């Protein structure tokens, strides 16, 4: 975000918030903020607070950028909002009735073969690592930010969006703005009911530089600046 501040000539003040502090209804930790970023992470601790952060941004039209786990909690919140009660990720709730986020188990090898992996498999098990191509959908905010259809971003994760819920969530307004090159994995989501709400499964911070910033971070900071200006009118 500091890189994006340089790139957009914006002073960025970062406030770090313990997500557990957001789990109480009376929490005012997000009051008077101009944007919400939920980064990557793992582990059950504080997960409901991260979901609450996505919910706050969604309900209050605050610019939101979710990275890796940050995208996943945004999907979980969206699913719960449209009536999928107790929707969750199998990483945190294996018995959830609506596993909108689930473990990656089917892989395409470099030879084009399909193989099944589990957590104990070789080659990082179910971990998706390294640079991957992503196809962006024209007409989305993400496409407009990058200005091109095919991008290359770096990944480090085991869990992905469960495509069994794609039709239902798309109908409710979730936009699948980016897919893996083979079209099988969701890489970017947007909320069509929100001015600026983007989640990405990859890690844009890995390719951000002080000179060039990164399209997602620069767009996020510009959205935060516009929101701050509007709120102070």
Would you please indicate which residues are annotated as catalytic (active-site) residues? 68, 203, 205
Is residue 81 within 8 A of residue 75, CB to CB? The reply is no
Q: In angstroms, how far is the first alpha carbon of the chain from the final one?
A: 25
User: CA separation (Å) from 172 to 23, 188, 197, 200?
Assistant: 26, 16, 15, 19
Beta bridge partners of 179: 135, 186
Burial class (CB in 10 A: 0-12, 13-18, 19+), 45: exposed
How many angstroms separate the CA atoms of 144 and 124, rounded? Answer: 34
Is residue 65 within 8 A of residue 37, CB to CB? The reply is yes
How many angstroms separate the CA atoms of 13 and 72, rounded? Answer: 25
How many angstroms separate the CA atoms of 145 and 106, rounded? Answer: 31
Burial class (CB in 10 A: 0-12, 13-18, 19+), 9: exposed
């Amino acid at each position: 975000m500091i890189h994006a501040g340089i790139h957009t000539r914006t002073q960025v003040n970062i406030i770090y918030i313990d997500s557990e502090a957001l789990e109480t209804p009376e929490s005012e930790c997000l009051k008077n903020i101009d944007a919400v970023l939920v980064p990557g992470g793992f582990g059950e601790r504080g997960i409901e607070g991260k979901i609450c952060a996505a919910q706050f941004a969604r309900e209050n039209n605050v610019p939101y950028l979710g990275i890796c786990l940050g995208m996943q909690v945004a999907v979980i919140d969206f699913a719960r909002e449209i009536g999928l009660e107790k929707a969750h990720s199998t990483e945190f709730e294996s018995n959830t009735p609506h596993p909108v986020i689930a473990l990656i188990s089917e892989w395409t090898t470099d030879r084009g073969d399909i193989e099944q992996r589990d957590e104990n498999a070789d080659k990082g098990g179910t971990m998706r690592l390294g640079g991957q191509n992503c196809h962006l959908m024209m007409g989305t905010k993400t496409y407009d930010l990058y200005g091109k259809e095919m991008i290359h971003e770096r990944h480090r994760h085991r869990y992905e969006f469960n495509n069994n819920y794609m039709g239902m969530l798309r109908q409710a307004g979730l936009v699948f703005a980016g897919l893996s090159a083979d079209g099988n994995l969701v890489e970017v989501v947007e909320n069509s009911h929100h001015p600026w709400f983007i989640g990405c499964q990859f890690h844009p911070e890995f390719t951000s530089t002080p000179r060039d910033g990164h399209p997602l971070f620069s767009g996020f900071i510009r959205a935060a600046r516009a929101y701050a200006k509007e709120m102070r009118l």
